[in-house]
Amino acid sequence: MDFPDFAPHGYELHKQLGANPFGGCITYLATHLETQQSVVLKQFQFAQTGSNWSDYSTYQTEIEILQRLEHPNIPHFLDSFATETGFCVVQEYKKADALNLSSSRSLEEVEQIAIALLNVLVYLQNQSPIVIHRDIKPENILVREENGDLEVYLVDFGFARLGGEALAASSMVKGTLGFMPPEQIFGQSLTEASDLYGVGATLICLLAGMKSTEIGELIDEERGCFRLKNRLPKTLNPQFIAWLERMVAPGRDRFVNATTALAALQKIKVRSRGMLGWKWGYWLWRRKGAVACSIIAIGSMIPVALLALPERPKIQRIRAVAGIDKTLQTTRSQYEPYLAKYFDLIESKNCPGCNLADFDLRNADLKGANLKGANLEGTNLQGANLDGAQLQGANLKLANLNEVTLKSANLSATNLQMAQLKKAQLQQANLTKANLSSADLEKANLTQARLDSANLGKVKMKYAVLVEASLKSATLYENNLVYANLEGADLSRSYIGISSELSHTNLKNANLEHTYIEQASFSNANLEGANLKNAYILLPQFRSANLKKANLLGAIIAGDTLDGGKNFKGAIMPDGSKHD
């Protein structure tokens, strides 16, 4: 290939890197003859057929902008000179390739690229006046690996503008369909939020493994939204999906600038920790609907009316955070604060008094979280880590806490009515004055837990472990404690009432002093060494119970209720006598 001779200007061309015949621009790799520095030389040929001198001012603007910029991720402006057919611009050469969307990138690498691009935009938006690139797309992003890290460069400022002035109505819209924000397409004023759109669209293509020319395949042309279901990696954090959706939202819903977008991104882990899964991320994206998604499909235009849809109420049957069906009459302004609370909780673990009813927080890491007084009614917390969490006065009615870990958590005065706590880990938890009426604690571990004055009516505690637990003044009736282990537990002054089932229960060395026991069944229970001093015992059943060395001194027994006990050896009877 014959190259133009720019030796008189001090440059030798080596190969063509790209061409834009409609803009009269050809890009070459060249060498500066004096310094032997590799450079990028862009030749603008406005006198050539198919080119237009009216674009001359556009490229003069590019030179003006490049001369102002000094950033490590923007190739430096080096030189410019006139030619017979136009002029040339010379820039620093970066040995890097255009972003390859078909190559496999780890989620962490995608995050690096996003952060690098946003840092460049922060710099551009801090200029006075601000610089708006207007053509952010994969082809204008160079990437290379350096010492295990990615270096990212933003190039081609040919469409860039200073400030956000609107284009004249007759002006030709410049940019790349699918990567331009709606306000750019319709000739409206651009803002600091405008370039975020191109970054978001680029990241979506990168995550989906799609070429930029295939972006139309990701677009729902009727609604103007991305079809992301089954397109993005399933290990992608739903919070990142939500962040990405805001990057490509209409102007009023997009992040206001790169600084805000970057700050939000830096709080997010790009890889899912398994607490939510794909469905929630997809739910969040879909709830924004056609109002929030305004991307232009390749070869088609979205009607202007779509960009200005009114915020009218609508009844939506939604899956509230990937699991709980709930009918809501809502508007965008109503549910966005609801979602914001969710993300704040996951990141800060500080949400006292929050309304988190019906959320899906399965496997969430909420260790040490402050949820005092929070409304968690119906919330799914199965498998979550709430060790040391502060849940005083919280409402966990009907919550799913199966297999949750709540070691040393504070649940005093918490409402746990009808909650599911099967196999929950509650060692040393504080449940003082908690309401656990009709809760299911089967196989739960409450070793050394505090349940003083707790309401345990109708609680299922079969096979539960309450070794050395404190249940002083607790209320138990219609309970199922079959095979439960309460060895060394303190039930003094508690009420064990009607129809409580404690057969085969281990109450060895338990303290039941001053306890009121009414019509409870202790069949085959182990009460060896138990303290029943001054207990009031009304018509219970001790059939085949082991009362060896039990202390019943001063106990009031209504009826001949000790009959059936199989072992009283060494027991102290109510009258103070010792059984042989």
User: pLDDT band for position 339 (50/70/90)?
Assistant: low
The closest alpha carbon to 158, from 133, 180, 178, belongs to 133
The pLDDT-based confidence of 503 (bands split at 50, 70, 90) is very high
Least confident of 27-31, 239-243, 252-256, 313-317: 313-317
Segments of the chain assigned to CATH 3.30.200.20: 7-92
Between CA 237 and CA 296 the distance in angstroms is 26
Determine the average pLDDT of the residues in 260-269: 91
CATH 2.120.10.30 fits 471-580, yes or no: no
pLDDT band at 535 (very low <50, low <70, confident <90, very high): very high
Residue that wins the pLDDT comparison between 513 and 60: 513
- What number is the average pLDDT over the span 171-182? 72
Residue range(s) occupied by CATH 2.160.20.80 in the chain: 471-580
Q: In sequence order, which residues have a C-beta less than 8 Å from that of residue 132 and are 6 or more positions away? A: 124, 160, 161, 162, 163, 164, 190, 192, 194, 195
pLDDT band at 173 (very low <50, low <70, confident <90, very high): low
Start-end of CATH 1.10.510.10 domains in the chain? 97-309
Q: Is the pLDDT of residue 294 over 80?
A: no
Instruction: Tell me the CATH architecture of domain 97-309.
Output: Orthogonal Bundle (1.10)
For residue 541, CA distances in Å to 378, 510, 545 come to 37, 18, 9
Q: Which CATH number fits domain 7-92: 3.30.200.20, 3.90.1170.10, 3.30.565.10, 3.40.1390.30?
A: 3.30.200.20
Which residues contact residue 266 at a Cβ distance below 8 angstroms, ignoring those fewer than 6 apart? Answer: 115
Does the structure show a pLDDT above 50 at 118? yes
CA distance 331 to 311: 6
CA–CA dist 197, 305 (Å, integer): 20
Q: Higher confidence at residue 120 or residue 160?
A: 120
Rounded Cα distance between 211 and 445, Å, is 53
Which pLDDT value is given to residue 473? 95
Cα separation of 422 and 315, whole Å? 36
Mean pLDDT along residues 282-310: 34
227 pLDDT more than 60: yes
Cα gap 389→368, rounded to integer Å: 4
Contact partners, residue 218, CB within 8 Å, separation at least 6: 204, 205, 208, 210, 226, 227, 228, 231
Nearest C-alpha neighbor of 389 from the set 377, 404, 412, 371: 371
Instruction: Please state whether the predicted TM-score (pTM) of the whole model is above 0.85.
Output: no
Q: What is the DSSP letter of 213?
A: G
